[in-house]
Amino acid sequence: IDGTPYEGKLSRTVWNGGKGGDYIKALPIVIPGDELEVWGGWTNHQTYGRQFKIAGFRKIVPTSLEAMEEYLASDLVKGVGKVTAKKIVENFGEESLQVCQKEPERLTLIKGISLKKAEEIKKNITEALEFQQVMMDLLPLGLTVKMSIKAYQKFGSNAVALIKENPYLLTKIPQVGFIKADQIAKNFNADPTSLDRVMAALEHLLFEEANSKGNLYSEREDLVSKCLELLNREQSEKLVDHNQVISALQQGAEQGKLILEGNNVYLSTFHFWECESAQRVKSLAVDNMREKEKEIEKELDGYQSRTGVLLTSHQQLAVKQAFEKKLSIVTGGPGTGKTQTIRAIIDIWSSLNQEAKILLAAPTGRAARRMKELTGMEAVTIHRMLGIGRGDDADIFEDVVADLIVIDEFSMVDIQLFYQLITAVDENTSLVFVGDTDQLPSVGPGNVLQDLIRAEIPCVVLNEIFRQARESQIVTNAHRVNSGDNLEVDQSKGDFFFIQESDGERVVELILKSVVRLIDAGYSAEDIQVLAPMKKTETGIDNLNKLIQKALNPQHINKRQIETKKEIYRVGDKVMQTVNNYDKEVFNGDVGVVYQIDEEQNLEVSFDDKIIKYTKDQLEELALAYAITVHKSQGSEYPVVIMPITTQHYVMLARNLLYTGITRAKEKVVLIGTKKAVNIAIQNNRVLKRKTGLTERINTSIIL
């Protein structure tokens, strides 16, 4: 190190010169026994002491027999293992790696290695060495280890050449972003006025509009202004001017990356989803004269006689609409009979056609399970129903043939999922979308449910609260919030509580006390969900998760834990999947419990009916879920909801957020905060209109 020989034992995580000695930062492609040449400098860490910060390194190809065996048996070379590695080295000695790479057929001389297996070993070693080389070349360029891994996964063996040619390709990698790519580009002395840089900035801003505000497009001049601000943010004088950005917009349109439509600028993908969805809606939004009106009336009477359930006039209209229209919508708040309406539609449909294929689906696993519990029929996620592809093939999905498809929690459906759904269904299928228009809109871009209603797709609004539901303060207060009225709380009824407290620290204390008391009363940690409007602040989910974990699942000498930069995970912790993982078949918003942590720091999570394994480098897909945002709670129901509502969250206080939070609870709601914050939320009904064109596209192409 720094030209000085260093004696010490190398592990995957530290280079340890003895207790209290020197440490070297973790390297993902290093295994015990490796010889390295590294360059960088020594630093002092506040907690860990003297560390060597690596700027770059070169891995020396194993030459000793022991090192070769270790290398072949390591997890860098898949499909070999310790026994096979030992046999290879015993047979071929110093030529082992060369034989594996250049003459794999010779491996068949070893008992148990077929020609197919030998070719697989060759492929895996070639990929491992290629991966190591790419990593060693990328790290000195300013990429982090995680970024380098993702760059290799995205661009393969050409990653280094491609990134050197255009460092802004890094913006295609999740979680890198324009700012980081811009910093790396400076290491190459990249031209700050290049078309690549301006295009990357434009695409970055359009993605930001979609991810943070749900917008599918931006107005041209607003986009140009923000682009200039971003590109010239660190300069005393402008490097990029207005004309250069306009020129980049035109070239982006010519290359098919951007769509310029009047004053609106779309990313081509978003424009495609919106246009294709509108065209498909056109073909489905027609009368479906499958059954005559008198027959449906007769079946409605029969259903009510059989079940003893009297449907309201609006519920009956929703049932008729499901038969008369190929595309229809049912909306309503809590206690208005949406589930009963779904049951009636399914029952009558089955009665008229016992061979009918009926599918039930929802955007999330939790929403699908809840749908199954309420209807008694199998329900799945929309992703699973469509067989949506994995990884880079996430836009590949299967056609779905059915007579009737009912989608619940439709307010959660964004434009991409809607495009996948609406283009996958057969033209003879009837679709019924069920949702609550007063909840928060989808986390992803678009505002599909509202856009369809504004386009006058047939819609029935259920607005009559059933008598039994009126007895619940959760239901009545949800409707009061929705109407702009103040809460009415009778704590003696035991289902709705408001605890007045303005001090943030005390609010946190009261949340913790409430959680502990509820557990003492017989509820489990999975039954209790703390919801907060924001991640940050004292009463945000980041702080609350750490404190609730400490209270319910503290560190223990006999309990394994894994520590990442952001979180500590222990067996028994409540966790949430934060991204869609098609390989594991777990999706954004799925909640589970840490079931096991093994000696190699792999973590297993129990998600209802399945156990999913995560390696340490996959833990970024998880987050603690004792407290989650209101947005993340959509589509789920919990026995108990505890929600801080304070002026710390002022920027997020809105009627639809409070309404959504309250309606997630089945048995109890506990609000902790101030009446002022509650009133701000109730009075703030200024829902930001998302920039979408779906309604207009449908209206210009549909004849109802």
Residue-wise pLDDT for 267-310, tens only, equals 999 999 999 999 999 988 776 655 567 788 899 999 999 999 99
Note the pTM of the prediction, 2 decimals.
0.83
Q: Which pLDDT does position 692 carry in this prediction?
A: 96
Of 132, 134, 110, nearest in space to 121 by CA: 110
Both tokens assigned to 163: 């990134």
Q: Measure the CA–CA gap between 102 and 354, rounded to whole angstroms.
A: 63
Residue tagged 């059989």 (tokens):
306
Q: Contact, 240 vs 192, CB < 8 A? A: yes
Q: Measure the CA–CA gap between 467 and 464, rounded to whole angstroms.
A: 9
Of 337, 334, 628, nearest in space to 482 by CA: 334
Angle at 571 between CA 566 and CA 574, to 5 degrees: 65
Q: Which pLDDT does position 289 carry in this prediction?
A: 56
The crossing angle, in degrees rounded to 10, of helices 365-375 and 338-352 is 70
Sign of CA dihedral 217, 221, 223, 224: positive
User: What's the Cα-to-Cα distance from 28 to each of 12, 31, 113, 131, 146, rounded to whole Å?
Assistant: 7, 8, 29, 11, 9
Q: Which pLDDT does position 186 carry in this prediction?
A: 85
Both tokens assigned to 407: 């989608």
Strand partners, 612: 605
Residue tagged 């479906």 (tokens):
288
Q: Contact, 77 vs 31, CB < 8 A? A: no
Provide DSSP, 118-179.
Answer: HHHHHHHHHHHHHHHHHHHHHGGGT--HHHHHHHHHHHGGGHHHHHHH-GGGGGGSTTTHHH
Q: Measure the CA–CA gap between 568 and 18, rounded to whole angstroms.
A: 26
Q: Which pLDDT does position 55 carry in this prediction?
A: 63
DSSP 525: T
Instruction: Report residues of the chain scoring pLDDT below 70.
Output: 1-34, 39, 48, 54-61, 75-76, 236, 287-292, 389-396, 701-704
**pLDDT, tens only, 40-52:** 778 887 776 777 7
Q: Measure the CA–CA gap between 160 and 686, rounded to whole angstroms.
A: 48
Residue tagged 């071929």 (tokens):
92
Q: Measure the CA–CA gap between 693 and 675, rounded to whole angstroms.
A: 38
CB count, 10 Å around CB of 599? 6
Both tokens assigned to 149: 């891994």
Q: Which pLDDT does position 94 carry in this prediction?
A: 87
User: From start to end of 564-636, where are the E strands?
Assistant: 568-570, 574-577, 591-597, 603-607, 610-614, 622-624, 627-629
